[in-house]
Amino acid sequence: MQDLERSGAAGPRRLAEAVTQRSRAGAMQVSLFADLHPVVEALRKLDVNTLTPLDALNRLFELQRMAGDN
């Protein structure tokens, strides 16, 4: 059994190590007390099921202005 472990044939352990290394490389820490952007808050309050197509376009335009993208 020890020979098998030393040879690296223990697949699941090696797979878990590879996944952990990949997730660390792409991980980004988010602040616990980060303020939400006003656009995110507005989107969460928006009931998209009740909007007409014209209202939806107008709201998107307003959200785009709030985000600062001209």
pLDDT on residue 35 = 74
Residue spans of the domains in the chain: they are 2-67
Q: 21-62, pLDDT tens digit by residue?
A: 555 556 666 666 667 888 989 999 999 999 999 999 999 999
> Which alpha helices (DSSP H) does 1-70 contain, by range?
2-7, 11-26, 38-45, 53-67
* pTM for the structure as a whole: 0.47
Contact 59, 51 (CB under 8 A): yes
